[in-house]
Chains A and B, each alone.
Chain A
Amino acid sequence: MPKDQSIRSVLIIGSGPIIIGQACEFDYSGTQASRSLREEGIEVTLINSNPATIMTDPVTADHIHLLPLTVESLEHILRERQIDAVLPTMGGQTALNLAIEAGKVGLWEKYNVKLIGVDLEAIELAENREAFRQHMIDIGLGVAPSFIANSFLEGKEAAQKIGYPLVIRPSYTLGGTGGGFVHTADEFDAKLRHGLNMSPTHEVLVEKAVLGWKEFELELLRDAADNVVIICTVENLDPMGIHTGDSITVAPAMTLSDTAYQEMRDQAIQAMRSLGNFAGGCNIQFSQNPETEELIVIEINPRVSRSSALASKATGYPIAKIAAKLALGYTLDELKNQITKTTSAYFEPTLDYVIVKMPRWNFAKFPGADHELGLQMKSVGEVMGIGRNFLEALQKACQSLEQGRAGLGADKKEWIRTEDILTRLEKVSDDRIFRLKDAMRLGVPSKTIHKLTKIDPWFLQQIKRLVEMEERLMRFNVAEDIPESFMRELKEVGYSDAQIAWVLRVGEEQVTRHRKTLDVRRTYKMVDTCAAEFEAQTPYFYSTFDGENESIPSDKKKIIVLGSGPNRIGQGIEFDYCCVHGLMAIKEAGYEAIMVNCNPETVSTDFDVADKLYFEPVYWEHLEEIIELEEPEGVIVQLGGQTALKLAETLHKKGIKIIGTDYTSMDLAEDRGAFSDLLKELEIPYPDYGVADDADQALEVANEVGYPVLVRPSYVLGGQDMRIVINDEELERHVLHIFKHMPDNRVLVDHFLDRAKEAEVDAICDGDEVHVMGIMEHIEPAGVHSGDSAAVLPTYSLSVEVVNKMVEITEQLAKALNTRGLINIQFAIKDEKVYVIEANPRASRTTPFIAKAYQVPYLKIATEVMMGVKKLKDYHIHARPSGFAIKVPVFSFDKFPNVDKQLGPEMKSTGEAIHFIKDLTDPFFRELDRQRYMYLTR
């Protein structure tokens, strides 16, 4: 069936601000969909309130509306433009809910807009737990016994019939919000009440818990001719009981025989075909009884889902891109495999490697949060490791997490108290996989571990192999004694040099040197959807230790861009936006653009964004070998947030060129002492401060600079462990807390400017000239992390003198720091006096915001300036401000019911929205402004 010619203009709905359970993977799907539709000559209009997205960039779509995701906004767009169809399946549950709402008030009918890629009845059916359950029973598929309850009484009755353990699942909530396991009767009442309250329809499903059953996810695509293919099968290492977003997952399925898999495939296809008749993506979750291999259907998402992004990166098959074309009426057999470009899109990708996805949590940001994992997703990001065996992929994922782990254990962070470890195995939290390995190392039998975790013994056997190898490794005295065969064996299962060094208690450098002498080096293999059956055209690589290297460096000049690793609070989608623009600018300047990152949710790791993609941990050992192979002109670190910046020192030491601001200047800005000396020299005011190595010193400093003081460890992200304290007692407690968790760190104590205003400037400097991109004034007073405060662009209440002073300081500092590229400076203003709080010579969270609000390609300009291909004077920058743009932070507190929602110097928001107002009389702004002191009781 060819494409529907009546569709010439399509509206794509985005997913709004990042929240837990709905993150930047929907920017990835929306961006792919938009590009895919434009390839077909379709005019694409986008609506999203999230300014940090690539999808809302002029490079992605024809018309962009940064508007709140409301029916009113949709109507505004439909009045303004001729839209033939709307594609609501790319923006997660948020977009679908909006499309449904608009449908209910007759908006689509009124403007004669077709809904494509979706069947609203199918969505309704999949979301309504009781109807879905009945539907599955009707078509002969298995479900767990359950009852629906709309009241407390009905819930109690259901529990009585089912018995414990059971699950409470509220209807129509996102990412399992409000759901949970109930193991005993005394927990039941509270959890039932919470579940009922969380559901917008006051409805929960009380279901028998199939704890310990294996969990699998299938990603499907269907076209208008009802052809269905399975793109990817993902096995959850963590069995039933942990939300799949919080589970370590593996592809392809490791423990499925063909009989078991085909049964699952048949059921998945049957289920999808029974759900309406839409063309697009679908995700189905199954649970399998490990003894009998009996299956039950857990849930179906008849849309592009969180796991679609992972499946796309895991297989190379661009699900959203193809799904968008299917929505236009194409059938799969008419489309080409985007990777091979010669074979059919109607096929099922096959892998000759293993991927492991690991979630990234941020519990430290939510003091008081329940760390136990369950039905409700709590992770804020994820990483993917690719290897030629399960262990290699697993250890690469550990290295990607950026939690200071050099792999799965063997890195000085192991626990040694068996009792503690066993507790953690049963009460699942973010560290279970590490504790599991610790337990094995201490000799806890695999049987016991299986009993506590219910993890399939196959995975345990594999991890056990690591323990055995470490025992063999311990028999060597020095790195140089390791024979080549054993070194290769170690590297093949993903050990980093740092882990080998730790086991031997020698220096990492020694291991690396010896390894290179033995010529045990990484080779690169392609992710090509077809296990090399056909020749592929896409430069998407991962490293491994195998015979043949497929990544042949070109003779072009190259620049490497370092990504920002897993999303977490304080470092998220904004840096993906920056990287994508950086890559485009590099390509445009005639260089080969090479991307290195390990976050499967990102657009920058899409197979056709960079000239070459290395899907690798942003971890020195991996990076070093890429640099040795590619021999780039230099590496850009300022676009990948703190993650990339952290590698600047090593790059500098190894004599590798950093494109843009050099390491010494970055270090100067990071080093509090040196930076303050610089400020002093330039006669720029800053709050009194001091540095302390222990609690005594901290107390001394605090009394010197005067309370209240701001206490924080140096070198952290997003204000981690930053507190404002008002007396010695509080100070001591907090300083001890910091040293407990970061024993090698130092503590910074700043005088806190109480009731000061805060503002921040983003600027570009080419060495001679400084261009101020924008100044954002925070609505909340100083004391709230800049990421958590609402902010207005441009300033709205600061005096002209203050603004001029900030501009003047920015110019002074940018030049003094020898900035080449981006710089962000945070100011505090008290009694008309401007203080500098900090300066970051890199892309900031607000850079994309300003670029969007002013409609200036600032990231492109900044990258060109970094590369030195252009000077600021070569541009005519016309910012197009219209009124004010307000940045509104968005929190995911509903995922952590017991957490103190009070805001402070530590960032807690997960996302942001942009809101344009004409002038300060706007009621939206007035409401925000009115609440500016209420942040402590929010």
Chain B
Amino acid sequence: MKSWRKNDFSKKTLLITQSTQPYLSLRAVKTKPQSMANSSLPPAILLLEDGTVYRGKAAGKIGTTTGEICFNTGMTGYQEIFTDPSYFGQILVMTNAHIGNYGAKKEEVESNSLKIAGLVCKNFTVPYHRPQATQNIQEYFEEGGMVGISDVDTRAIVRHIRDKGAMNAIISSEELDVEVLKKRLAEAPSMKGLELASKVSTKESYTYGQPDAKYKVAVLDYGVKENILRSFAQRDCFMKVFPAKTSMEELATFKADGYFLSNGPGDPAPMEYATQTAKAILAAEKPLFGICLGHQILAQALDIPTYKMHNGHRGINHPVKNLVTGKSEITSQNHGFGVSPAAIKANADKVEITHVNLNDDTIEGIRVIGKPAFSVQYHPESNPGPHDARYLFDQFVALMADS
């Protein structure tokens, strides 16, 4: 893993700067466009933290946005990805050649709004066809205030950040002066050390599912994807979804059969509040399940640190082997941080590795020895992605049934 550039912005909140200014001018662009599709579309710029510039066309709303750039290799499910709260603060490069072909459908979302910081794609395909969809991608982005850039060499960008590692970036379709953009980009905080979960978490607790369901699950919302809630509800669970910073005392009033630590954006390291809650749940010997950020929180509660990955895993084709059953599963993933394998091995008396990534041997799942608690780094609820790992929800329900 390459060292991550230290900077002074780690304490600042990430600025999602999507200006509402209309498209103003074509001034001062003398460089020739690298690529373009429809000459009638306004130009846009993508500037990376290391100074690399890509010129393309505006996609979505005219404006400016900053975030950490990362790429997702999934070929389906753009709408679910764009609304996944775990992507909060990320400028997302979609590697699939076309984005937008089947339009936007109201129900196929993972939260109530677009969560990515910005989109980078090759072909922003506005004409769509799907009888069940109601909007094209341009309308959908404009309505959601989303800024993007298309007609750039996404493959070159992926190759660049694959080698150079994750970094901040800025997209603008209103300001085309690279020097001005550089200044604005410098103000953006680094993802490392950035606590974002409380930003996307619900402000008030709410319930989900049928109140007379067999099991009660307390969900800690760090940016929970709706399909996690749906998956529990399908398994006869009634949920109360709590804000990220809810204390154990408050959680306990719900008298849950099990606790769930949700997925979410940002660095888990500064989330001391969540780690303490997880410790309290473990101490209570209650069934506990964590996904993605929730998995990292569980690890931290076991004194296993997390680290920032060079590139992270984002896509719907990641191979994971279940070491308990010997079977493998294709998983949906979205994480830029991982849990330390060395620390897990050093704590072999407390925690056991249950799942590993077959591509790079990173930790994908753990189980707490002697306690009804487990977690996975990937997304068994998928959406988008394969349904291979849905059995984990059953596993959690079985734990609640046992206790």
| Residues of chain A with a CB closer than 8 A to B63's CB | none
CA distance A525 to B327 in the complex (A): 35
Determine the main DSSP class of B at the interface with A.
loop
0/1 interface trace, chain A 461-472, chain B, CB 8 Å (1 if under): 110010000000
What count of chain B residues pass the 8 Å CB interface test? 61
B129 and A255 contact, CB distance less than 8 A = yes
| Residues of chain A with a CB closer than 8 A to B316's CB | 258, 348
A354 and B98 contact, CB distance less than 8 A = yes
CA distance A255 to B105 in the complex (A): 13
| Residues of chain A with a CB closer than 8 A to B54's CB | 547
0/1 interface trace, chain A 232-254, chain B, CB 8 Å (1 if under): 01000000000000000000111
0/1 interface trace, chain B 61-83, chain A, CB 8 Å (1 if under): 00000000001011111011000
CA distance A531 to B98 in the complex (A): 13
B71 and A332 contact, CB distance less than 8 A = no
A535 and B162 contact, CB distance less than 8 A = yes
- Closest beta carbon of chain B to A545's beta carbon, Å: 7
| Residues of chain A with a CB closer than 8 A to B311's CB | 533
A458 and B80 contact, CB distance less than 8 A = no
Q: Is A257's beta carbon under 8 Å from chain B?
A: yes
List B170-223 residues whose CB lies under 8 Å from chain A. Answer: none
Q: Is A390's beta carbon under 8 Å from chain B?
A: yes
A255 and B102 contact, CB distance less than 8 A = yes
- Closest beta carbon of chain A to B175's beta carbon, Å: 21
- Closest beta carbon of chain A to B68's beta carbon, Å: 17
Which residue of chain A is the closest to B71 with respect to CB atoms? A533
Which residue of chain A is the closest to B326 with respect to CB atoms? A225
CA distance A599 to B122 in the complex (A): 27
B328 and A348 contact, CB distance less than 8 A = no
| Residues of chain B with a CB closer than 8 A to A343's CB | 319, 358-360
CA distance A492 to B39 in the complex (A): 12
Interface stretch (choices A141-149, A482-490, A760-768, A898-906): A482-490
Q: Is A266's beta carbon under 8 Å from chain B?
A: yes
Given contacts A350-B73, A389-B122, A533-B315, contact A333 B153 (CB under 8 A): no
Q: Is A457's beta carbon under 8 Å from chain B?
A: yes
A485 and B97 contact, CB distance less than 8 A = no
CA distance A587 to B98 in the complex (A): 38
| Residues of chain A with a CB closer than 8 A to B162's CB | 532-535
B153 and A226 contact, CB distance less than 8 A = no
A346 and B319 contact, CB distance less than 8 A = yes
Q: Is B38's beta carbon under 8 Å from chain A?
A: yes
B102 and A256 contact, CB distance less than 8 A = yes
Q: Is A259's beta carbon under 8 Å from chain B?
A: yes
A262 and B326 contact, CB distance less than 8 A = no
A492 and B35 contact, CB distance less than 8 A = yes
Given contacts A225-B326, A265-B386, A546-B35, contact A389 B97 (CB under 8 A): yes
Q: Is A293's beta carbon under 8 Å from chain B?
A: yes
Among B32, B37, B96, B155, the most chain A Cβ lie within 10 Å of the Cβ of B155
| Residues of chain B with a CB closer than 8 A to A353's CB | 97
CA distance A657 to B396 in the complex (A): 69
A546 and B155 contact, CB distance less than 8 A = yes
| Residues of chain B with a CB closer than 8 A to A351's CB | 75, 96-97
| Residues of chain A with a CB closer than 8 A to B386's CB | 262, 265, 348
Given contacts A255-B102, A262-B386, contact A350 B36 (CB under 8 A): no
B155 and A352 contact, CB distance less than 8 A = yes
B158 and A532 contact, CB distance less than 8 A = yes
| Residues of chain A with a CB closer than 8 A to B334's CB | none
CA distance A390 to B321 in the complex (A): 35
Contact of A547 among B34, B98, B127, B315 (CB under 8 A): B34
CA distance A226 to B328 in the complex (A): 9
B358 and A333 contact, CB distance less than 8 A = yes
Interface stretch (choices B233-241, B242-250, B300-308, B377-385): B377-385
B96 and A257 contact, CB distance less than 8 A = no
A350 and B317 contact, CB distance less than 8 A = yes
A229 and B330 contact, CB distance less than 8 A = yes
0/1 interface trace, chain A 510-538, chain B, CB 8 Å (1 if under): 00000000000000010000111111000
| Residues of chain B with a CB closer than 8 A to A348's CB | 316-317, 330, 386
| Residues of chain A with a CB closer than 8 A to B76's CB | 253, 256-258, 261-262
B105 and A257 contact, CB distance less than 8 A = yes
| Residues of chain A with a CB closer than 8 A to B318's CB | 347
Q: Is A744's beta carbon under 8 Å from chain B?
A: no
Nearest first, the 8 closest Cβ-Cβ pairs linking A and B are: A258-B77, A547-B153, A548-B156, A344-B358, A258-B384, A531-B95, A461-B127, A258-B76
Interface residues of A (CB under 8 A from B): 225-227, 229, 233, 252-259, 261-262, 265-266, 290-291, 293, 331-333, 342-344, 346-354, 388-390, 456-458, 461-462, 465, 484-486, 488-489, 492, 525, 530-535, 545-548, 550
